[in-house]
Structure 1
Amino acid sequence: MTTFLKVDDELKRTLGFLPDDELLDEQSLKRIETALTAAEIYVQNAIGQGDKFYQKKDVAPLYKIACFAIAANLFNHPSSATSSTTAMAIIGQMRGAYAVFREEQENGSTSESRQTNTDD
């Protein structure tokens, strides 16, 4: 399983920390890193394996939002964390995109080549 995301200022702000926040100690940073890794594993297991898929230009922002939403839940509610509705909605969208991606990988085709002209 490959992880792509790093703890950045955006994730810190999502969790309520400012970049140079005194409350953001080493232990908190380690918890954030662990929550983010767990979130990435969760998302990838929910959708499927494929490093190239998660790095696609149109998928990467959705992947990041879903992972951040799950990481925030894991960080803020470690004993009772469940996936957020935001993350689950995005995962649903990404599953459809992943199915198309896998089909294109297996068949060597693109979605444009499968379209037919209906004006004929």
Structure 2
Amino acid sequence: MVIVDQIKQALYLDGDEDDSLIKNYITVAEQFVKNAVGGSDKFFEDKTVQPLYDMAVQSLAATYYQYRLALTDTQLFTNNATVNSIIGQLRGVYETYEGDSANENIDTSIKPSD
């Protein structure tokens, strides 16, 4: 679970003026990553998945904070390589996770023929 203090530390922010804004960015980043990968909350709480998920959320929330203005004098092309690479990894892990879950429900025992 990503907390406001982690984002503030990553952005070198002091004070608490923007805490509610950062909290909202964390919520939006969590939903973005979950929607991009798919899966249930159980998947994202898995001990092997959670560090990747948290880092993607932290990186994306920090990006939202840094680029929060919609109007600029110059054209920006934001490409969050960290988030993109972690989402790719999470998609691969999710495919394996789903495959393993499906295989648990398959009866592989040998049954005598009639």
Normalised to the residue count of structure 1, the TM-score between the two structures is 0.73
Q: Note the C-alpha offset of 1:83.
A: 5.4
Assess, with a 3 A threshold, how the Cα gap between structure 1 residues 44 and 102 changes in structure 2: closer, same or farther: same
2:51 to 61, 83, 89: 61
Kindly report which structure 2 residues correspond to 1:1-120, keeping only aligned pairs within 5 A, or say none. 5-17=1-13, 21-22=14-15, 24-25=16-17, 28-78=18-68, 79=70, 82=78, 84-108=80-104
8 Å CA contact 2:43, 2:94 repeated in 1 = yes
In structure 2, how many angstroms separate the alpha carbons of the residues matched to 1:71 and 1:46? 15
Instruction: Report the number of matched residues.
Output: 99
* Corresponding residue SS for 2:51: helix
CA contact (8 A) 1:70 1:83 kept: no
Mark the CA change 1:83 to 1:63 in structure 2 (over 3 Å): closer, same or farther: farther
Q: Which has the higher contact order (CA 8 A, sep 6+)?
A: 2
TM-score of the pair, normalised by structure 2: 0.77
Secondary structure at the aligned position of 1:71 is classed as helix
Bigger-Rg structure (1/2): 2
